[in-house]
Each structure stands twice: as C-alpha cells, then as structure tokens.
Amino acid sequence: MKLAPHIPIPEKEPVIAKIPEVPMAGLDTLWLQIGGTVCNLTCTHCFISCTPQNHNHPLMTLAQVRQHLEESKHLGIKDYYITGGEVFLNPELLEIYEAILAYGPCTSLTNGMLISKEKAQALAELQARSKNKLHFRVSLDSLDEKENDAIRGRNCFKLALRGMRYLAEAGFPTHLTMVRSWDEDDDPAMETKALAFMREHGVPNPQVKFLPGFLLGELAENEREYHPNERVTEQCFENFPITNLQCSSSRMVTAKGVYVCPILIEEEPARMGDTVEETLRPFPLYHSACYTCRVSGMSCKS
Ligand code: SF4
Ligand code: SF4
C-alpha cells in the first residue's frame, strides 16, 4: 500500500501540547456499522481486522438502527452510510435499508461477493418504493485478478464483478472503491483505467473512489505500524482547514456506542457516547490515523 506523502513535523516539540481538536462544524453524515467487524473475507489490509469470527463489534440489529435514526432525526443529517464488516451478512439488511430510506439517502460499502441476482432485484423493489436513493460502493484492490485476490482472497475478483453487474442490471449506478497501491500523482491515469475496466465488465455509469491505507489492524501487521512522529499538530492545519476532516461533520454509530469516525472504532478513546447527540463536541486528533487523513485529505464519503 502507498501511504500519502510525508509532511514535515518538528520532532523536538512536545507532541502532547500540540494535539489539535477538530470542532463539530455541523453534522451532515451518519455512518452505521451494521456489519460490525464480521466479514466473509480476511483482507491483508483491513484496518479493523474483520474476519468471519471477529465479533468485537457485533452486527447491529434493526431495533438499534431504528433507535439511532429516531434519536438523531432532528440533527440535520443529510446522508447515511452503512458499512462493516460486510453489510450483506446482516440478516435484517432489507429492513434496515427500508428504515434508513425513510430518513434519507443511503450508501452501502460492500465487498460485493454476497450480492445475488435475487437480492439485487429485492433492492430494486425497495428503491422503487422510496423517494430517497440507494447507492453502492463495491471494493476491489487491483484491476488485475491475481493481484486483487492476493489481497482479498480467492475468487474475490470474479464475485465482486458479478455483484457489480447484478446491481447494474437492477438499475443501480455503482462506485468502485480501491485502496491506493500506486503513487497519488497517478490517480488521474488510474481513474481512467478503472472506469474503462468497469464499462468493459458491464457496469454502466461507473464511478471510482480511491482510499489511502491506514496503518492499523491487518495493514499494521503486514506492512508496518505508524512511526511516533506521524501525528498531527496545530501546524498541520495552518494551510489546511481542519473542518475538511470528515470527523468535523459525521459520526459513526455501532452496536457498542457512537464513535468519532469509521476509522477508529477499535479505539476506546474514540467512543464518544451512547447517543449521536451527546457526541456533537470537539475531538482531540490524538491518533496517528489522523495523520493519514490530514496528509491524504481523505474522506470515507463518496
Ligand atoms: S477490508 Fe472490507 S472486505 Fe476486506 S476484510 Fe475488511 S471489511 Fe471485509
Ligand atoms: S482518523 Fe481521520 S476521521 Fe478519524 S478522528 Fe482522526 S482525522 Fe478524524
């Protein structure tokens, strides 16, 4: 995985005195970890080390989802995102979609492998009954089958493409999400290649989104951990608006409470409360993952 370019941080200054706080500028996005940390895959770069056996964050129930939707409906949320783990492992997925669509548009992050023709058709029927839109983001990590499957597992390439095709046939425009394994400067060329690749594979009107690798979970095990000086300081935000960070406008709901963002759900200090409303306060950017967000200008949103 390629990490974003290094920005100089003075090593001699005491880091503890320099931790900036990100303000809550206005909540517009709510994430829901409905797949918990349970996944049918074991990708070598998974920053929350999801596996079929990892129930550290359990699947969210429909009742939990409904409770958070209802208690946060007056907070100005415009977009809902669901992720995991793998969202298609949640047995209440269709009912969860229905519940979310009553409040706003919903984007799903998925590895695409469990999407059957019948499920895609059921989603299309759900979409036909709602004024709010369903969107899907399917992950691959290379346009080369061998390279992709070395990271994500056997047959992932074929099955993810099959899932994308079923979604396309059911009328859903689909995003391809890839964790960057090339230089950021090569993003435009990669985007052109990825869009052409999706059209060749029967996905009309495709879009792509590239994400940086976070040195957490499996990627920390398989590549390296963050260096001690990979931290943000106040100086990091002299020429970069801190409110560009997604944690300035979103929160992550899980079965275990509400966290600052989708990246830090395994970090106890990132658990900000039981309800979304009580988490609408500044958050200290103490974690090295914040450095990746800063240098890559990263947002998990589409
Ligand atoms: S990266 Fe995504 S698909 Fe891979 S193990 Fe993690 S949650 Fe599952
Ligand atoms: S990891 Fe990124 S999104 Fe999460 S708190 Fe840090 S800067 Fe914000």
Q: Is the CB of 246 under 6 A from ligand 2?
A: yes
Map residue 211 onto helix, strand or coil: strand
Would you list the domain boundaries of the chain? 15-296
> Nearest-5° angle of CA 226, CA 231, CA 233?
175
Ligand 1 pocket check for 86: Cβ under 6 Å: yes
Alpha carbon nearest to ligand 1 atom 4, residue: 43
| Contact 39 CB / ligand 1 (< 6 Å) | yes
Residue nearest to atom 7 of ligand 1 (CA): 85
List the Cα angle 181/187/193 in 5-degree steps: 90
Count CA atoms within 13 Å of residue 298 on its CB side.
24
Query: At what angle are helices 93-101 and 117-128 packed, to 10 degrees?
Result: 20
- Residue 159's alpha-carbon distances to 10, 110, 153, in angstroms, are 47, 12, 11
Q: Which residue's alpha carbon is nearest to atom 4 within ligand 2? A: 261
Q: Where are the alpha helices (DSSP H) in the chain?
A: 62-71, 93-101, 117-128, 145-152, 156-169, 187-200, 217-222, 288-296
| Ligand index nearest the alpha carbon of residue 261 | 2
pLDDT tens for the chain, 302 residues long, are 555 444 455 455 444 547 999 999 999 999 999 999 999 999 999 999 999 999 999 999 999 999 999 999 999 999 999 999 999 999 999 999 999 999 999 999 999 999 999 999 999 999 999 999 999 999 999 999 999 999 999 999 999 999 999 999 999 988 999 999 899 899 999 999 999 999 998 888 889 999 999 999 999 999 999 999 999 999 999 989 999 999 999 999 999 999 999 999 999 999 999 999 999 999 999 999 999 999 887 666 56
Q: Give CA–CA dist 187/199, Å, rounded.
A: 18
46 CB less than 6 Å from ligand 1? yes
Nearest CA to ligand 2 atom 1: 290
φ, ψ of residue 295 to 5 degrees: the values are -75, -25
At 286, which helix (H) or strand (E)? none
Q: Domain spanning 15-296 has what CATH number?
A: 3.20.20.70
